[in-house]
Structure 1
């Protein structure tokens, strides 16, 4: 049995880097008699890991006479419940596996895979999650209420489920199981949702008040810090959305938003901790965070959930603030491994919704969101849309769309991916999913393998991509991007910014603290356009030594910053670090007490500190000028409407490129580390070129654009070497 470990954002197999090529296959939507043949096709298509949800509601069985609950994992009551056979087949075929037992799994299932007894819609003894207006949180696919995770009855039911499935999975740990994913996009797919859409129910409020007790110790201390007069922590209310009204009239009133964001973060962290313990499996625990993107509405038949989520349109640009405030993935590295999903829009055509026609490329925001989500922390892309063109965008049926997006996530930093899904499933009962068949007979509609095993261009594109990374993935993982800059994230700034779309909601004599909106978003678009390699990291998670390992760091400051963070930045600069900063100098600490340690330090004009008033991050010229002052020199450049990302290990380079022209052919160039790669590309051509020394060693090219109905002749030229590919292709050992 191979030995799998996980560190530095990726898997190792027997000590060697292992590039994760996953394919999701939902056994519960297919006949048991099909499983073996489909697994053979997925393995032949290049997959090395099968991922699958284990829906709670699918395996629960109630005694018809007594109502007693038991679980069927052997197919005794329905063939598609035979999880034991499914696991044995994966193992017998030499594939690896990642199991996803929930408790909530999404998968477009009724109640997201929860059984009826776990939903307040059918079990009124369970408290639902409540939104800021007091109404329950509904699941959009069947308009059922979702339970508060800390409701005692639901918590007991979930613990029993995880205990049962954990016992079932235990004999498969190591072979074929190499990982576990709990939950889905944190709790109920809320990892990129607004902070007023979760947590206002009684069980969550008890969690919130316990957090306040730990943080402030006594209600007297809480009142002193906040300027309030509550008699007990239980009386402290949660902040509520009040559009058009100031979020605070004095500085210390902002602390309620800081406290609420800490609750939103910790309630998710503790859920992972609790469920991990209850499952009892000793494997790497993976996560699938939603993209750093505005919420995208799926084309769900008869959807009603959106009517319960009523965020005003002017709040939607705050989505990166919501993400950074509640998803503190660096601080959680001891609990789970970061991973992303890709439902961010159509990257090749800059479409940020599930229905718009291709138009002008604009600022290429969607592609930038792909890169930022993958760049947030290295890990796996655990869901790339390969064929959901009915539920999501119609362009998703064209193979170049998922190919382009999967490659974009790898360019951003993903260390593997999951084709979601590999099969058009066509067999399930209404009790499992009564919604998606209203739209299309199979799930999804355009996956690589058809309902009856048919294969075509989507399968060929998947195999082309999979085969390349099966050959070159280990070498790619040994390479790394030379980071020019680390952008620092202060979650407490995002916590305040999350509620403050404009000056209408802001009356304090300070600039609104910002992290993503108007700061990292424009700055990273500048970097991606001009070849500046950057990473993102949470300041509270970094030690001074961690900071010193970066070539340079950059941060937009605000009028408050914790005393420990101010001391950390001072020590970093004193020890030789390079800090680029702009914004208002901090004058207060995390409790809004006077604290000007960093401001006083700036006034001494220390070497290594480049400080600017205002905001340099939304000004391309200002950002580049400051980078040059900090010693940055451009090592990678490329032609207009082209993006390129270079990973290297000594003299071994992987160049990932993406062309955004809608026509062709076009002559382009990429210059990197003193080398020049010339390309003839067509409409939305993308690919990878491995260069060793001064010669092309291997390549992967997607030169067919099925949407534009174009087959381009792609040329790669380096020194005296020329390679020509008609349409799609790959080559090795050149």
Structure 2
């Protein structure tokens, strides 16, 4: 198995595929059962690609000793043997060597000897107040200081670890098809405020180096910012003024990109590299938008995770999840399929994870991960002192290796996308409107507190340029109308990409890059509509006069939404050259009765469980393959899953799921 990644899509042995994977934390289990559990993933779940973290603290617990990858010091450290088992069973592997992994492992998987508290030579990560950022767990409830990623001592040690993985584990492992670097940002910190990091000496040195590359000289910087700095060392981080705040947001984007690049290079592998960003929180939406700029990452591919709530019941969680899925092409690399005790009891039933996995794909993801596919037990407190087995509590394959009630649901999705994944990706989402991200406003809003909305999403806080609040309001308007939408970065989108939409909504404010204004003006001249949420910009990025945008009125609501009745969300993808469509219907918690959905062939009526949903293939005027979830034990909901199209009904024989594939 050979995987390439093209525009966020996994191309497996030359064929684009929806990347369906399952995580197995080998380091938490008895090596004697590894082969059995891997067979269960392959045979019961129908999944051909495993993901697994390689915890640094597990393989190299002591400073000054070489990492153990062969089980010399403990059988569960024999990751080379684990990967060979995967090869023998025909399974590919996405290896995830961190160096920070979270995964409910002590100190996020970092060895204790890289903690600044233990070694004063290691520079700590600092927040805006100069306080070290700390990671709390059962072994250190008050938290342990985290190392600054670009600090020279830690960077050298992290590079040694990643290089050892590359040379001693990956170089001879035929099963490994891709890598994932870091976890949810750097230290599960992708959604933290811009004031949370990095104010360490190494971080500020990188910030000032970026300023030098952007402005050239301090004199040029002073001319734009109205300051009188004598040298770069005098420039304060996250300073006062709109442009200084925008600079700090831009620094965060380049800082994250630099850490990703440095760590990926350290592995020394030619394999494709993913990252997995955690979705934004509601209060820190602008912080996340300012920091997460996949356009800067070069050959590193975007991916994201779940862990934000039950999207079928929580509109905030829904918005955060959809925005994460739309930010850039790439797979969902951690969907919660197993943790009901640690996160939310709704995950005890597979309907919740089924709904969210389909939402990710419908909103724009190119794959999903079952996290974790297998429950494990048998680790020591040196690895995880805070949790008891099994980990997780309700996985599709339990800690004894038996398939649970979730297994057929995973298998149905895996089989559907094995049969139709390439076609699904060829089909074009039906989206006529887009939101244009102008990310300098995200940095400004994050630092000025402009996005201080409550969880209800109502506007609050000081006035000023912002991006997140406008995006959230746009998302809610589109969801109420039942319409899908595109999400584009105005500083990198092409004229051809923008031309695919009838409208683009942009956040308003005092300035906007001249080239962005020129792009929007040309789009409008060609017939597109530019809608501005707020003041129309009259200055360029250097605050020189520039007023090229003529905002249009929004188009009348023509009743284009897909959902005709019932409480649900629907997404349609249509093939550009063939009469083939894929329809995803996601039933919200609280819905009772059928859901009517507009299709190219008339109304389809879908009966599915609360919090469940359906994926349907439509071709030549008829209903083809489908998967419909009719059960949700958590909500005590059991219906006869069915679909009716043009008078023809396909249904389950009784309360339960409906699965028809080939």
CA–CA distance in structure 2, aligned partners of residues 188 and 333 of structure 1? 18
Task: Summarize the alignment of residues 196-211 of structure 1 with structure 2, pairs less than 5 Å apart.
Answer: 196-211=195-210
Structure 1 position 193, deviation (Å): 1.1
Maintained 8 Å contact 1:563/1:595: no
Number of the residue aligned with 1:54: 54
Maintained 8 Å contact 1:105/1:113: yes
CA–CA distance in structure 2, aligned partners of residues 586 and 644 of structure 1? 35
Residues 154-194 of structure 1: CA deviation (Å, up to 9, x unaligned): 01101111111111244356x32221110111211111111
Structure 1 position 9, deviation (Å): 2.3
> Judging changes above 3 Å, is the alpha-carbon distance between structure 1 residues 185 and 682 closer, same or farther for their aligned structure 2 residues?
closer
CA–CA distance in structure 2, aligned partners of residues 503 and 728 of structure 1? 42
Structure 2 residue runs without a partner (length 5+)? 454-461
Maintained 8 Å contact 1:695/1:721: no
Residues matched between the structures, number? 645
Residues 560-603 of structure 1: CA deviation (Å, up to 9, x unaligned): 11222222222333455443334312122223x2322415xx3x
> Judging changes above 3 Å, is the alpha-carbon distance between structure 1 residues 202 and 171 closer, same or farther for their aligned structure 2 residues?
closer
Q: Does 1:183 align with 2:124?
A: no
Number of the residue aligned with 2:117: 121
Maintained 8 Å contact 1:120/1:145: yes
Number of the residue aligned with 1:35: 34
Pick from 104, 107, 131: which aligns with 1:108? 104
Residues 476-502 of structure 1: CA deviation (Å, up to 9, x unaligned): 222220220121100001111112335
CA–CA distance in structure 2, aligned partners of residues 532 and 399 of structure 1? 26
Question: SS at 1:228's partner residue?
Answer: coil
Q: Does 1:611 align with 2:552?
A: yes
Number of the residue aligned with 1:299: none
Structure 1 position 25, deviation (Å): 0.5
Maintained 8 Å contact 1:638/1:644: no
CA–CA distance in structure 2, aligned partners of residues 503 and 82 of structure 1? 48
Number of the residue aligned with 2:298: 334
CA–CA distance in structure 1, aligned partners of residues 184 and 573 of structure 2? 29
Number of the residue aligned with 1:227: 226
Number of the residue aligned with 2:457: none
CA–CA distance in structure 2, aligned partners of residues 80 and 431 of structure 1? 13
Structure 1 position 137, deviation (Å): 0.6
Number of the residue aligned with 2:458: none
Structure 1 position 22, deviation (Å): 0.5
Question: SS at 1:158's partner residue?
Answer: helix
Maintained 8 Å contact 2:451/2:466: no
Structure 1 position 724, deviation (Å): 1.1
Structure 1 position 730, deviation (Å): 0.3
What TM-score results when the alignment is normalised by the length of structure 2?
0.93
Number of the residue aligned with 2:657: 728
Number of the residue aligned with 1:11: 10
Maintained 8 Å contact 1:644/1:656: yes
Maintained 8 Å contact 1:493/1:513: yes
Maintained 8 Å contact 1:468/1:730: no
Pick from 376, 398, 404: which aligns with 1:450? 398
Question: SS at 1:407's partner residue?
Answer: helix
Number of the residue aligned with 1:361: none
CA–CA distance in structure 2, aligned partners of residues 417 and 381 of structure 1? 5
Number of the residue aligned with 2:483: 532
Number of the residue aligned with 1:325: 290
Residues 265-314 of structure 1: CA deviation (Å, up to 9, x unaligned): 111101111112111111221111111333xxxxxxxxxxxxxxxxxxxx
> Judging changes above 3 Å, is the alpha-carbon distance between structure 1 residues 219 and 542 closer, same or farther for their aligned structure 2 residues?
same
Number of the residue aligned with 1:594: 544
CA–CA distance in structure 2, aligned partners of residues 568 and 474 of structure 1? 33
Pick from 572, 575, 579: which aligns with 1:651? 579
> Judging changes above 3 Å, is the alpha-carbon distance between structure 1 residues 574 and 169 closer, same or farther for their aligned structure 2 residues?
farther
CA–CA distance in structure 2, aligned partners of residues 531 and 710 of structure 1? 25
Residues 357-387 of structure 1: CA deviation (Å, up to 9, x unaligned): xxxxxxx332233222212222101000112
Number of the residue aligned with 2:147: 147
CA–CA distance in structure 2, aligned partners of residues 235 and 596 of structure 1? 30
Maintained 8 Å contact 1:195/1:261: yes
Q: Does 1:345 align with 2:296?
A: no
Pick from 639, 642, 645: which aligns with 1:715? 642
Q: Does 1:638 align with 2:564?
A: yes
Structure 1 residue runs without a partner (length 5+)? 241-247, 295-315, 351-363, 603-609, 613-625
Maintained 8 Å contact 1:497/1:513: yes
Structure 1 position 333, deviation (Å): 5.2
CA–CA distance in structure 2, aligned partners of residues 572 and 34 of structure 1? 59
